[in-house]
Amino acid sequence: MSRPPFPSGWSSIPLSLKNLTLANSLPVGQSFLWHRHAIASSTPGCPTEEFSRAVDNPPRVVCLRQSPSHLYYTGVYPNEHDALADLRRGITKDWVNDYFQLKAHPELEKMYDDWRARDPELFGKVEVNKRAVGVRVLRQDPWECLIAFITSTNNHIPRITSLLHRFSQSFSPPLVTLHNPDNDGETTYHLFPTPTALPTKLEALLRSMGFGYRASFIESSLQTLEEEFKEEIEAGLLRWRNQDVDTVREKLVALKGVGRKVADCVMLMCMDKPSLIPIDTHVAAIAARHPAFPSRLRNKPMSKQVYDETQQFLLDRWGPMGGWCQAVMFAADLPEPKPKVKVVKTKVNTSVTVKRKLEEVSPTLNLKRTRSATRLELKQTRTIVTDEVKMEE
């Protein structure tokens, strides 16, 4: 099994990076199951990396690449014959348009303009740089998204990613194996497991897989959903897209492991509720930077009331697409993706290196200052410095 030759065997859509940037939308904490590979023999002006993952209905691997002017896509099927039907019926084309909401919200740039006008104090100060450009809220599958965000609680993005890949590999059979585009090994793709594919004694298994205390949350939520939807959990959750926020929030929060924040994430990212702004530690910190942010909410532990008031404050600034604005702010605030190097600590007496580090993390914009950057800044007088040493892997 292999990909079609690029670009001749692929399809494409004219699309600017300002309207969608894959690298700023896929690996920034809303979806966790995309594989990301560099492309080995890349010529200037052509895509340098590929994102790919297994997608259902029908089962296949969707591969995406992007140039400054086009989004390229192809579907790789277990039976190559089916790729023709995909093209004929526009299956993956439709999927791309739906997943990235290109038809529902065709002009992301106009949204940025709107947010700048609405909120000159905070969003207006964001430099739309490499990290903040083209950030879209994805329209994800609710079942997968729900499990993902139950898993996300009190966890890092790298660990969430690792756990969910493990989850898919454990409970879903291999679908397709492809050589990686960087010519470095191969990847076996698995669909996200359907609810019916999960074993009855789930909690112990999930614990052994590293889910920790979330294991019981997932088992309990699955049981609750089975009681409501029988064997049709995925379809049942999809129908929640048509209901109003308060109704759906009530149902989501009734699930174990789903609090206000996770419920808001699920509704924003798969239930067509674009105004919802999930308030997590990052977004709370971002809100606190706003000059008009009520001082009585500053440095307060998160409570239902603080949550509500913070969310309302941001909604007032960002408007009906506030959840999308939050996604931009969140992505811009994320620490730089970790390079594949081993960091060796050595004692060196210089503050110059520390300053260079700071500039790498936060070149121009103090809005996108990260925790670690802030920590570094506070400790500038220290003499610990890092040397980077390449490590093959």
Partner DNA sequence: CATAGACCTGCTTAT
Partner DNA sequence: TGCAACAGGTCTATT
Smaller CB separation from DNA, 12 or 216: 216
Q: Is 283 in the site for DNA (CB under 7 A)?
A: yes
Smallest separation, CB 61 to DNA (Å): 20
Binding flags for DNA, 206-245, as an x/- string (CB under 7 A): -x--xxxxx--x----------------------------
Q: Is 371 in the site for DNA (CB under 7 A)?
A: yes
Q: Give the number of residues in contact with DNA, rule: CB under 7 A.
A: 53
Smaller CB separation from DNA, 30 or 74: 30
HEC profile for the chain?
CCCCCCCCCCEEEECCCCCCCHHHHCCCCCCCCCEEEECCCCCCCCCCEEEEEEECCCCEEEEEEECCCEEEEEEECCCCCHHHHHHHHCHHHHHHHHHCCCCCCCCHHHHHHHHHHHCCCCHHHCCCCCCCCCCCCCCCCHHHHHHHHHHHCCCCHHHHHHHHHHHHHHHCCEEEEEECCCCCCEEEEECCCCHHHCCCCHHHHHHHHCCCCHHHHHHHHHHHHHHHHCCCHHHHHHHHHHCCHHHHHHHHHCCCCCCHHHHHHHHHHHCCCCCCCCCCHHHHHHHHCCCCCCHHHCCCCCCHHHHHHHHHHHHHHHHHHHHHHHHHHHHHHCCCCCCCEEEEEEECCCCHHHHHHHHHHCCCCHHHCCHHHHHHHHCCCCCEEEEEEECCC
300 is catalytic: no
Q: Is 274 in the site for DNA (CB under 7 A)?
A: no
* Catalytically annotated residue among 93, 110, 130, 261: 261
Smaller CB separation from DNA, 58 or 158: 158
Q: Is 355 in the site for DNA (CB under 7 A)?
A: no
The burial of 190, by beta-carbon neighbours within 10 Å (0-12 exposed, 13-18 middle, 19 or more buried), is given as: buried
Q: Is 344 in the site for DNA (CB under 7 A)?
A: no
Smallest separation, CB 268 to DNA (Å): 8
Binding flags for DNA, 23-52, as an x/- string (CB under 7 A): -----xxx----------------------
Smaller CB separation from DNA, 88 or 296: 296
Smaller CB separation from DNA, 84 or 253: 253
Q: Is 289 in the site for DNA (CB under 7 A)?
A: no
Q: Is 158 in the site for DNA (CB under 7 A)?
A: yes
Which residues, including other chains, have CB under 8 Å from residue 125's CB and lie 6 or more apart?
365, 367
Smallest separation, CB 26 to DNA (Å): 11
Smaller CB separation from DNA, 356 or 371: 371
Q: Is 130 in the site for DNA (CB under 7 A)?
A: no
**Among 258, 267, 271, 325, which residue interacts with DNA (rule: CB under 7 A)?**
258
Q: Is 369 in the site for DNA (CB under 7 A)?
A: no
Positions touching DNA (CB under 7 A) are: 28-30, 152-159, 161-162, 207, 210-214, 217, 253, 255-263, 265, 278, 280-283, 301-305, 326-327, 330, 338, 345, 371-372, 375-376, 379, 382, 384
Active-site residue list: 261
